[in-house]
Amino acid sequence: MMKLSCNVADQIQSLPQCRFLAPPKPRPILNRRSYGVGFCSPASKMPVMAIVSDRSGGLGSEIAANCVDTGLGSLADRLRLGSLTEDGLSYKEKFIVRCYEVGINKTATVETIANLLQEVGCNHAQSVGFSTDGFATTTTMRKLHLIWVTARMHIEIYKYPAWSDVVEIETWCQSEGRIGTRRDWILKDYATGQVIGRATSKWVMMNQDTRRLQKVTDDVREEYLVFCPREPRLAFPEENNSSVRKITKLEDPAEYSRLGLVPRRADLDMNQHVNNVTYIGWVLESIPQEIIDSHELQTITLDYRRECQHDDIVDSLTSVELVEGESIPPVLQGTNGSAKAKVGQQDSRQFLHLLRNSGGLEINRGRTEWRKKPAR
């Protein structure tokens, strides 16, 4: 992947010279009913009008007359390496992998990847005028004290980027039934254009005061659907792909565990609940060290079942999940489920996970798939 030899100061000074560091393209502002578009220059804040066709093929009857103010100011707009695509229905942003985002494998960690997915999703929401004081809340949502919360997250990484590699992430959202929405991502090596990962997620609406789930109203749906692809677009279009596999509950006794995990203050997000990326770290805490040493995470799927409070004590439980037709090899008998004894049986491993609070209530269930580390 592409390496950057210049330091941070050089990068900022050379913004106009570097192709991938150029200022973002003008961003289309869509009217939710007519699909009119106004393009706004970050520097001038003066709109230039254009019109795109609506779903029926006719011209929109209204045009957005004012630019969306993201609240971040023009400097942040110019320095951010992202913008809406030409049709305004998805958003792309480029990221340089920082040294503190790299783990023991000398590549970006899965938590880094998940944080970048969250960042590009929030920037997408801001670019179309949604709030900066929460995660993609619309005008109606803010009036009713509604927020989005993650119900399911599925991430597949085919190649982990290394320090100073440049990753381009595209994201878009669309409706998911009557109770939620979905957001998908595609990750590419910016230097080569190679797809290095994909992800999808499902989100449901929660009342911020009562902490109860609510159906997505037509008013809210109209506010965000105008920024969604007209036809279903899936990061995982394959039939029966792993993102839709049901996760069975892990039953006691688990083979591996890490008990007594406590949320830190830094784990709380702007909606005052534990950030969904924190759960990924907790799940990985109970993976046996032998697997960490010999394998790398390829796929992670998490179902978020219950909100974790700041004063909860969390137990992380893990057990091997046998694929269809697989049985525990005889060499494991008497090893108490040692992962080291299992590693030699095949290159890939699969695990089930459970996070629960001190009262025994299920917070999260998950599945991870691991592949042998590549030779370096």
Per the document, the length of the chain is: 376
Question: Amino acid letter at 53?
Answer: S
271 is an active site residue: yes
Catalytic one of 228, 308, 353, 364: 308
Per DSSP, the residues of 37-98 read EEEE-TTT--EEEEE-B-TTSSBPS----S----SSHHHHHHHS-EEE-TTSS-EEEEEEPP
Phi, psi of 80 (to 5 degrees): -70, 135
336 is an active site residue: no
Phi, psi of 283 (to 5 degrees): -60, -45
Question: What does each C-alpha distance from 199 to 57, 108, 113, 329 come to in angstroms?
Answer: 31, 16, 10, 33
Quote the tokens at residue 293.
């040493």
Catalytic one of 115, 241, 271, 357: 271
194: left (phi over 0), alpha (psi -120 to 50) or beta: beta
Catalytic one of 273, 275, 276, 295: 273
Give CA 271 to chain center in angstroms.
17
154 is an active site residue: no
- Enumerate the active-site residues: 271, 273, 308
